[in-house]
Amino acid sequence: MTGDDEPIMLGEIHMNEDDGRVERRDAAANRYKILQTAERLFAAHGVGNVNMADIAQAAGVGKGTLYRRFANKGELCLALLDTQMADFQNGMLARMQQMNIAGLPKLEQLQQFMDALVYFTDTHSPLLCEVQREGLLPLDNTRLQLPHFWQHMTVSALLRTAAAAGEISPELDTDYLADALLSPLKADFFQFQKTNRGFTLERISAGLRTLISGLRNADPES
Protein backbone atom coordinates (compact mmCIF):
# COMPACT_ATOMS: atom_id res chain seq x y z
CA MET A 1 0.00 0.00 0.00
CA THR A 2 2.86 2.41 0.78
CA GLY A 3 5.11 3.30 -2.11
CA ASP A 4 8.49 1.71 -2.68
CA ASP A 5 7.90 2.81 -6.22
CA GLU A 6 4.51 3.70 -7.57
CA PRO A 7 5.14 5.06 -11.04
CA ILE A 8 2.94 2.91 -13.23
CA MET A 9 -0.01 1.51 -11.27
CA LEU A 10 -2.47 4.35 -11.68
CA GLY A 11 -5.86 2.77 -11.21
CA GLU A 12 -8.52 3.31 -13.82
CA ILE A 13 -8.45 5.92 -16.53
CA HIS A 14 -10.65 8.86 -15.72
CA MET A 15 -12.60 10.96 -18.17
CA ASN A 16 -13.59 14.56 -17.89
CA GLU A 17 -17.30 14.48 -17.25
CA ASP A 18 -18.32 16.89 -19.98
CA ASP A 19 -16.36 15.91 -23.06
CA GLY A 20 -14.95 12.40 -23.27
CA ARG A 21 -11.36 13.59 -23.05
CA VAL A 22 -8.94 11.40 -21.13
CA GLU A 23 -7.17 12.76 -18.08
CA ARG A 24 -3.58 13.72 -18.71
CA ARG A 25 -1.00 11.25 -17.42
CA ASP A 26 0.61 13.58 -14.89
CA ALA A 27 -2.81 14.57 -13.62
CA ALA A 28 -3.82 10.95 -13.17
CA ALA A 29 -0.62 10.25 -11.28
CA ASN A 30 -1.33 13.15 -8.97
CA ARG A 31 -4.90 12.05 -8.43
CA TYR A 32 -3.60 8.69 -7.39
CA LYS A 33 -0.94 10.13 -5.11
CA ILE A 34 -3.51 12.37 -3.48
CA LEU A 35 -5.94 9.55 -2.81
CA GLN A 36 -3.23 7.29 -1.44
CA THR A 37 -1.90 10.03 0.79
CA ALA A 38 -5.33 11.02 2.05
CA GLU A 39 -6.15 7.42 2.89
CA ARG A 40 -2.91 7.05 4.79
CA LEU A 41 -3.30 10.32 6.70
CA PHE A 42 -6.94 9.63 7.53
CA ALA A 43 -6.02 6.20 8.86
CA ALA A 44 -3.17 7.60 10.89
CA HIS A 45 -4.77 10.69 12.42
CA GLY A 46 -8.49 10.43 11.86
CA VAL A 47 -10.49 12.13 9.14
CA GLY A 48 -11.33 15.11 11.33
CA ASN A 49 -7.72 15.84 12.22
CA VAL A 50 -6.42 16.10 8.68
CA ASN A 51 -6.92 19.20 6.59
CA MET A 52 -6.56 19.84 2.90
CA ALA A 53 -3.23 21.62 3.28
CA ASP A 54 -1.80 18.62 5.13
CA ILE A 55 -2.89 16.32 2.36
CA ALA A 56 -1.48 18.53 -0.37
CA GLN A 57 1.85 18.83 1.37
CA ALA A 58 2.14 15.14 2.23
CA ALA A 59 1.23 14.23 -1.34
CA GLY A 60 3.85 16.65 -2.62
CA VAL A 61 1.46 18.78 -4.67
CA GLY A 62 0.28 22.36 -4.34
CA LYS A 63 -3.05 23.29 -2.84
CA GLY A 64 -4.26 24.47 -6.20
CA THR A 65 -3.68 21.02 -7.65
CA LEU A 66 -5.53 19.37 -4.82
CA TYR A 67 -8.52 21.68 -5.11
CA ARG A 68 -8.61 21.29 -8.89
CA ARG A 69 -9.57 17.64 -8.43
CA PHE A 70 -11.49 17.75 -5.19
CA ALA A 71 -13.40 20.91 -4.46
CA ASN A 72 -13.39 20.12 -0.73
CA LYS A 73 -12.72 17.39 1.77
CA GLY A 74 -16.16 15.93 1.20
CA GLU A 75 -15.49 15.29 -2.48
CA LEU A 76 -12.18 13.70 -1.59
CA CYS A 77 -13.87 11.40 0.91
CA LEU A 78 -16.50 10.52 -1.63
CA ALA A 79 -13.78 9.53 -4.07
CA LEU A 80 -12.24 7.30 -1.40
CA LEU A 81 -15.64 5.66 -0.87
CA ASP A 82 -16.23 5.19 -4.55
CA THR A 83 -15.14 1.59 -4.97
CA GLN A 84 -16.58 0.54 -1.64
CA MET A 85 -19.95 1.96 -2.57
CA ALA A 86 -19.84 0.22 -5.93
CA ASP A 87 -18.99 -3.06 -4.22
CA PHE A 88 -21.86 -2.62 -1.81
CA GLN A 89 -24.29 -1.85 -4.60
CA ASN A 90 -23.19 -4.81 -6.66
CA GLY A 91 -23.30 -7.10 -3.67
CA MET A 92 -26.79 -5.99 -2.78
CA LEU A 93 -27.98 -6.33 -6.34
CA ALA A 94 -26.76 -9.90 -6.42
CA ARG A 95 -28.33 -10.71 -3.06
CA MET A 96 -31.61 -9.21 -4.09
CA GLN A 97 -31.71 -11.28 -7.23
CA GLN A 98 -31.11 -14.37 -5.12
CA MET A 99 -33.83 -13.36 -2.71
CA ASN A 100 -36.20 -12.72 -5.59
CA ILE A 101 -35.56 -16.16 -6.98
CA ALA A 102 -36.12 -17.61 -3.53
CA GLY A 103 -39.45 -15.77 -3.48
CA LEU A 104 -38.75 -13.72 -0.35
CA PRO A 105 -41.34 -11.05 0.32
CA LYS A 106 -40.26 -7.58 -0.77
CA LEU A 107 -40.52 -6.15 2.72
CA GLU A 108 -38.15 -8.78 3.97
CA GLN A 109 -35.74 -7.89 1.20
CA LEU A 110 -36.03 -4.29 2.31
CA GLN A 111 -35.20 -5.27 5.85
CA GLN A 112 -32.12 -7.10 4.70
CA PHE A 113 -31.07 -4.15 2.60
CA MET A 114 -31.39 -1.89 5.62
CA ASP A 115 -29.40 -4.32 7.76
CA ALA A 116 -26.60 -4.24 5.24
CA LEU A 117 -26.81 -0.48 5.04
CA VAL A 118 -26.53 -0.16 8.80
CA TYR A 119 -23.32 -2.13 8.65
CA PHE A 120 -22.00 -0.15 5.69
CA THR A 121 -22.78 3.14 7.39
CA ASP A 122 -21.04 2.03 10.52
CA THR A 123 -17.94 0.93 8.67
CA HIS A 124 -17.57 4.18 6.78
CA SER A 125 -19.19 6.70 9.08
CA PRO A 126 -16.16 8.99 9.42
CA LEU A 127 -15.88 9.47 5.67
CA LEU A 128 -19.63 9.62 5.24
CA CYS A 129 -19.88 12.31 7.90
CA GLU A 130 -17.46 14.46 6.00
CA VAL A 131 -19.33 13.94 2.76
CA GLN A 132 -22.56 14.86 4.42
CA ARG A 133 -21.19 17.94 6.15
CA GLU A 134 -20.13 19.42 2.82
CA GLY A 135 -23.41 18.36 1.27
CA LEU A 136 -25.28 20.69 3.61
CA LEU A 137 -23.78 23.87 2.26
CA PRO A 138 -26.11 25.66 -0.15
CA LEU A 139 -23.66 25.21 -3.03
CA ASP A 140 -23.52 22.47 -5.67
CA ASN A 141 -24.61 19.63 -3.32
CA THR A 142 -25.79 17.25 -6.02
CA ARG A 143 -22.55 15.35 -6.29
CA LEU A 144 -22.32 14.80 -2.56
CA GLN A 145 -25.88 13.65 -2.21
CA LEU A 146 -25.19 10.77 -4.52
CA PRO A 147 -25.02 8.18 -1.71
CA HIS A 148 -28.44 9.13 -0.42
CA PHE A 149 -29.72 9.27 -3.97
CA TRP A 150 -29.13 5.66 -4.88
CA GLN A 151 -30.18 4.47 -1.45
CA HIS A 152 -33.47 6.24 -2.00
CA MET A 153 -33.81 4.67 -5.43
CA THR A 154 -33.39 1.22 -3.95
CA VAL A 155 -35.68 1.65 -0.98
CA SER A 156 -38.46 3.38 -2.86
CA ALA A 157 -38.29 0.75 -5.59
CA LEU A 158 -38.58 -2.03 -3.03
CA LEU A 159 -41.54 -0.28 -1.42
CA ARG A 160 -43.24 0.12 -4.79
CA THR A 161 -42.81 -3.53 -5.65
CA ALA A 162 -44.02 -4.43 -2.18
CA ALA A 163 -47.12 -2.38 -2.89
CA ALA A 164 -47.53 -4.05 -6.28
CA ALA A 165 -47.21 -7.44 -4.59
CA GLY A 166 -49.92 -6.50 -2.11
CA GLU A 167 -47.63 -6.57 0.90
CA ILE A 168 -48.43 -2.97 1.75
CA SER A 169 -51.18 -0.54 0.78
CA PRO A 170 -50.77 0.87 -2.72
CA GLU A 171 -51.78 4.24 -1.29
CA LEU A 172 -48.59 4.65 0.70
CA ASP A 173 -46.28 7.52 -0.21
CA THR A 174 -43.30 5.40 -1.13
CA ASP A 175 -41.09 8.34 -2.07
CA TYR A 176 -41.56 9.99 1.26
CA LEU A 177 -41.32 6.79 3.26
CA ALA A 178 -38.05 5.83 1.59
CA ASP A 179 -36.60 9.17 2.68
CA ALA A 180 -37.95 8.80 6.19
CA LEU A 181 -36.65 5.26 6.64
CA LEU A 182 -33.22 6.30 5.45
CA SER A 183 -32.93 9.46 7.51
CA PRO A 184 -31.87 7.70 10.73
CA LEU A 185 -28.94 6.31 8.76
CA LYS A 186 -27.59 9.70 7.77
CA ALA A 187 -24.03 9.57 8.96
CA ASP A 188 -24.18 12.33 11.55
CA PHE A 189 -27.33 11.01 13.16
CA PHE A 190 -26.03 7.48 13.12
CA GLN A 191 -22.85 8.55 14.85
CA PHE A 192 -24.86 10.47 17.42
CA GLN A 193 -26.86 7.37 18.19
CA LYS A 194 -23.78 5.23 18.60
CA THR A 195 -21.77 7.74 20.60
CA ASN A 196 -24.25 9.67 22.70
CA ARG A 197 -27.02 7.14 23.02
CA GLY A 198 -24.86 4.05 23.06
CA PHE A 199 -27.09 2.16 20.64
CA THR A 200 -25.63 -1.00 19.14
CA LEU A 201 -25.87 -1.91 15.49
CA GLU A 202 -28.26 -4.71 16.39
CA ARG A 203 -30.54 -2.33 18.21
CA ILE A 204 -30.60 0.10 15.30
CA SER A 205 -31.30 -2.69 12.83
CA ALA A 206 -34.07 -4.04 15.01
CA GLY A 207 -35.67 -0.61 15.30
CA LEU A 208 -35.68 -0.16 11.56
CA ARG A 209 -37.17 -3.62 11.09
CA THR A 210 -39.95 -2.57 13.42
CA LEU A 211 -40.71 0.52 11.39
CA ILE A 212 -40.72 -1.45 8.16
CA SER A 213 -42.88 -4.23 9.50
CA GLY A 214 -45.34 -1.58 10.64
CA LEU A 215 -45.88 -0.50 7.06
CA ARG A 216 -47.62 -3.80 6.43
CA ASN A 217 -50.72 -2.55 8.17
CA ALA A 218 -50.15 1.18 8.04
CA ASP A 219 -53.05 3.37 7.18
CA PRO A 220 -52.19 6.04 4.60
CA GLU A 221 -55.18 8.15 5.67
CA SER A 222 -54.04 8.65 9.26
Partner DNA sequence: CAGATAAGCGGACTAAAGTCCACTTGCAAA
Partner DNA sequence: TTTGCAAGTGGACTTTAGTCCGCTTATCTG
Give the footprint of DNA on residues 96-155 (CB under 7 A): 134
43 binds DNA (CB under 7 A): no
Give the footprint of a copy of itself on residues 90-119 (CB under 8 A): 111
11 binds DNA (CB under 7 A): no
Q: Which of 99, 105, 107, 112 is nearest to 216 (CA)?
A: 107
27 binds a copy of itself (CB under 8 A): no
Rounded to whole angstroms, the Cα distance separating 76 from 98 reads 34
Q: How far is the CB of 72 from a copy of itself (least distance, A)?
A: 15
What are the two backbone dihedrals, phi and then psi, of residue 155, each rounded to the nearest 5 degrees? -65, -45
- Binding partner of 52, given a copy of itself, DNA, none, CB within 5-8 angstroms per partner class: DNA
Check: CB of residue 167 under 8 Å from CB of residue 110.
no
- Binding partner of 177, given DNA, a copy of itself, none, CB within 5-8 angstroms per partner class: a copy of itself
Q: How far is the CB of 9 from DNA (least distance, A)?
A: 16
Residue number, 71 or 104, with CB nearest to DNA = 71
With a CB cutoff of 8 Å and minimum separation 6, the contacts of 112 are 95, 99
Per CB under 7 A, the list member of 6, 43, 45, 63 interacting with DNA is 63
86 binds a copy of itself (CB under 8 A): no
Q: How far is the CB of 140 from DNA (least distance, A)?
A: 10
Per CB under 8 A, the list member of 14, 161, 184, 194 interacting with a copy of itself is 184
Rounded to whole angstroms, the Cα distance separating 203 from 222 reads 27
201 binds a copy of itself (CB under 8 A): no
Check: CB of residue 193 under 8 Å from CB of residue 204.
yes
138 binds a copy of itself (CB under 8 A): yes
Rounded to whole angstroms, the Cα distance separating 130 from 78 reads 9
Residues that bind DNA (CB under 7 A): 16, 19, 21-27, 29-30, 51-53, 60-65, 67-69, 71-73, 134
Residues that bind a copy of itself (CB under 8 A): 48, 111, 129, 133, 136, 138, 141, 145, 172-173, 175-177, 179-180, 183-184, 186, 188-189, 192-193, 196-197, 199, 203-204, 206-211, 213-220, 222
